[in-house]
Structure 1
Amino acid sequence: MSTASDAGQHVTAEIASQPETWARGIELAGRVAGQLGKPGERIAFVGCGTSWFVSQVIASWRESAGLGESDAFTATEAPLERGYDRVVTITRSGTTTEIIELLNGLRGKTPTVSLTADLSTPVVDAADEIVDLSFADERSVVQTRFATTAMMLFRQAYGLVPDGIVEACSEATTAELPPAHAAAEQVSFLGAGWTIGIANEAALKFRETSSSWAEAYSAMEYRHGPISVAQPGRLTWMFGKAPQGLADQVAATGAEFVDHDLDGMVDLVLAQRVAVARALQLGGDPDTPRNLTRSVVLS
């Protein structure tokens, strides 16, 4: 039986291990690049929960690199009748019902590949090809390193990894966190381009780990209504370059504008740590958040 002192020990260790798993993802990319899609192919990236937001990031990167049309969907909302050359699914557990059903429905029709952390699960038989990310598996219910390692794998495959990112990640795992960030009663995460997916994932981490109020928006859309919730004691957290004038407008509300001027993936590591800190501050266990399981398996 776990104790209060054990709370969050797994997710904390998994967050801290990301420099190592990112480096392994970068190395793996050269061996599996052919499975991840060919230039010019039309690809649908599919996932549930965190994996959906990972898919959003990857699809944005692929299109920006000029490699072909790329879309991101949840498994039950994927309009695969559009005609894709390849479907890439992401499932840490390898057991998510919606993913398995989608892959079974595509067998013999559309080539499929799945990234997973568990090779003893149904996804291995359901997908045409498997990319093994078991080295990034997690004991915590919430995803941290599996998600970011999957992103880094594709980022390297697309030639988009910036110099020094592993070192920057290492610094983010030990950087001092402002106490006010974990104490904030509400956070609005913002992104632009590929960092919209990062913002979505950061907000999910806040909700999952601590049952706290967090939202995510395109940075340019934030002023079209959502800024109305900004006030003292709340944060507006920007991933990537902020639109002109936004910082001043947020400051005028009394909310804190958080802009670390970091790569979006590195900044996500900080957000993961703040989410865990908030959960612990509220007396929760971010390894096993309420109402959540490692995988959604439907009867």
Structure 2
Amino acid sequence: MTTHTEAEIASQPSCWRRAVANIPADALPRRGERVAVVGCGTSWFIAMAYAVLRERAGHGETDAFAASEFPQGRRYDRVLALSRSGTTTEVLDLLARTSDRSVAITADPDTPIMTAADDVVVLDYADEKSVVQTRFATTQLAMLRASLGEDLTQAIADAEEAVAAPLPDALVRAEQFSFLGTGWSVGLAQEAALKMREASRSWTEAYPAMEYRHGPISIAAPGRVTWMLGTGTEGGRTLGEPGDHRRRRGGVRQGREQARVGRRDRHRLGGRPVGGHAAEVTLRKNEQVDALLGASLQDVRKVTGGRAAQPRLQRGNPQPVAAGMTLHVTPAWGGPLTDVPFLCASPQQLR
């Protein structure tokens, strides 16, 4: 039987196609504006990706923040708030405080964010039932990329093919995953790690590609996967060389190699010997950055779904994750939430 998660993964390419065909240009940031993009969790990582893409496209200075960490007093021409649920506490608090013009992107038109922002873009067709959600996030990123003038035709085609491709069993059984990115794919790497962690309780980490060699590479070992989103070459440095065994699918070239991380291979992975000895790492690469919205993210979601299907997990509703987080906290001293030095709450309290 098809689960909510499986159905939502399969439907993403059609949602992206609809999003890029209906860009609300009047509501979204305009060229030359100084923009802050805010969100929580997945929305924050999408904000990170969009911020890099917007600056790279020459549309203007763009900063990305976790909504709770937005710098008070800093002025922007527009604040773009991302919230699928439309009820995210930190996002609503920020919109209430800012005097900058604001626009929100949400999936639910019956939520407080509809009146909290000056303009609202509703992508209700991309809303989801599963707790570990991906369709709305990738749909809004598709729309935002298209608003910058990008052609996503190939990325969408790659994603459709990725949905139908077989799932490698070795990835389902892997012990640990490290996701790497460069430029805008740093945010995607963070999102990939978060989704796999939420859905299957897997050990996942994420880093800018060249930071991987500064300590994190020490966990590389047989049975663990290092997943490169992109080529690892933005900024002129290269992480890894493609293996000899590759298959080409659409515009995405994927390769997996067993790379020796030792003294003679420092030039390949940029790493130092692990514990004084060579170690093996499976390097899985999705190399065409322009297609990252397509096949590589779908690959990650398929692997996540396969790992979440293990009997120990209730697929589509992992605990203790909830679909939306609204904080109701009253400090003993009666101060605002921002004055709470440390918050530890159960899932029942975070509702």
Question: Paired residue for 1:33?
Answer: 25
Q: How high is the TM-score relative to the length of structure 2?
A: 0.79
Residues 76-124 of structure 1 deviation map (CA, whole Å, 9 limit, x = unaligned): 1011422111000110001111111111112xx2111100000001111
Matched residue SS, 1:274: helix
Match of 2:16 among 22, 28, 31: 22
Post-superposition, which runs of at least 4 consecutive aligned residues in structure 1 deviate over 6 A? Answer: none
Contact 1:91 1:99 in 2 (8 A): yes
Matched residue SS, 1:81: coil
* Structure 2 residues without counterparts, runs of 5 or longer: 243-256, 261-278, 329-351
Question: Paired residue for 1:265?
Answer: 293
Question: Paired residue for 2:319?
Answer: 290
In structure 1, distance between residues paired with 2:21 and 2:32: 24
Matched residue SS, 2:27: helix
1:61 aligns to 2:53 (yes or no):
yes
Greater RCO (CA < 8 Å, at least 6 residues apart)? 1
Residues 141-187 of structure 1 deviation map (CA, whole Å, 9 limit, x = unaligned): 11211000000001000012344221111001111111000111100
* Equivalences, count: 289
Give the aligned residue type for 2:292.
G
Match of 1:213 among 197, 203, 211: 203
In structure 2, distance between residues paired with 1:48 and 1:282: 30
RMSD: 1.6
In structure 2, distance between residues paired with 1:255 and 1:242: 16
Contact 2:231 2:286 in 1 (8 A): no
Larger Rg: 2
**How far 1:269 sits from its partner (Å)?**
1.1
In structure 2, distance between residues paired with 1:273 and 1:96: 27
Instruction: Label 1:148 to 1:245 Cα distance change in 2 as closer, same or farther (>3 A).
Output: closer
1:277 aligns to 2:309 (yes or no):
no
Contact 2:175 2:224 in 1 (8 A): yes
In structure 2, distance between residues paired with 1:70 and 1:123: 22
Contact 1:53 1:198 in 2 (8 A): yes
Match of 1:251 among 254, 259, 264: 259
In structure 1, distance between residues paired with 2:138 and 2:54: 16
Identity %: 46
* Structure 1 residues without counterparts, runs of 5 or longer: none
Contact 1:227 1:250 in 2 (8 A): no
Give the aligned residue type for 2:21.
E
